[in-house]
Amino acid sequence: MALHRTPGNQMDFNRESKEGKPSTDERLDSGVDSLKEEDYRAVAEEICRLQLECEPKPQKVFNCGDVETQEWKSQVTEDGDTLLHLAIIHEAKDYIKTMIQLSKNTDFLDVQNDQRQTPLHLAVITNQSDVCQRLLADGCDPTLVDDSGNMPVHIACRHGNLPCFSVLTQFCRHEHLQTMMAACNYQGQNCLHLASIHGFLSMVESLVDLGADINAKEQRNGRGGLHLAVDQQNLPLVKLLLKKGADPNLLTFGGHTPFHLTYGRNNDDIKGELFSLTRPDLRELPDSESDESEEEEDSESDDEVPYDDIQWNGH
């Protein structure tokens, strides 16, 4: 079964492009293809039956201590999806609401499938901001990571999903927000890096306003958001980051400033934005490569053989 998006969903697409092209890097159908149509109907009927069995009586509100309730919580597919995962995948709103209410402030809301996706991950992937809000209100943990090291907020930033991003950052606890702003995924990128790479300007601005470190370095090459904006040749993002306080003299692990990344590029406007802000001693490219080439030339012109213990035919 395919996942569908409603045309009214608000997304933060790159202002430089005319249309958004969501990434398909991570699996978006966790458990969907593992269920045939008849299997899905059976699951839906089971959820309905259990919902009726758990219907609260006038004097007892949501009594979840019976065997039937615990039984449906323990049911999983071959992909590790619970019935809540499946209900979110299929956007079965009534079932989602009931199961979350019956699982308030319990570990069931944080169960991870075989890809370590929680129900909150899937709510973001399927762009259901209302489900995100309900999960957060009833006690889920937004800082759990999937098998790529992504929290739900990383996924929202990667796809420019403004509705889910807003809910995640507004309805989480303060300590969770701090963790979400600083955490890097297994690619070494935090939320600001992801939003910068994909050119989501409004999201970058929101992240900085929420406390994200504008000069944080991604963990592979040590590039900051400004380096990434230059890499993408995104002039509006370069201007925004500089306005928000990005350091134009920030060095990567290889000793490169954002201005160094303008060499060999055609966008003179970006070079002009950075030239006056970059320290004069940091405008020229590091000369380590030229030094190495000079050393190689010197060694080639040297008459002395670098090794004196080589033997050939006994001599």
Same structural domain, 135 and 278: no
Q: What is the mean pLDDT of residues 164-185?
A: 97
Residue 309 pLDDT grade (very low, low, confident, very high; cuts 50, 70, 90): low
Q: Is the same domain home to 153 and 268?
A: no
The number of angstroms, rounded, from the C-alpha of 146 to the middle of its chain's C-alpha atoms is 10
State whether 154 and 247 are in the same domain: no
- pLDDT computed for residue 72 by the predictor: 87
Question: Which domain does 273 fall in, by range?
Answer: 216-294
Which of 127, 161, 183 is the last residue in one of the domains? Answer: 183
Tally of structural domains, the chain: 2
| Average pLDDT of the chain, as a whole number | 82
Q: Is the pLDDT of residue 268 over 50?
A: yes
Instruction: For residue 158, name the pLDDT band (cuts at 50, 70, 90).
Output: very high
* 56, 121: one domain: yes
Together in a domain, 120 and 167 = yes
Statement to judge: residues 78 and 141 lie in one domain: yes
Percent above pLDDT 70 for the chain: 69
Residue 209 belongs to some domain of the structure: no
pLDDT of residue 191: 98
51 and 150, same structural domain?
yes
Residue 86, domain CATH: 1.25.40.20
Q: Is the pTM of this model over 0.85?
A: no
Q: What is the pLDDT of residue 215?
A: 98
Is the pLDDT score of 55 beyond 70? Answer: no
pLDDT at 112 over 80: yes
Residue 167 and residue 248 share a domain: no
143 within some domain: yes
pLDDT of residue 19: 43
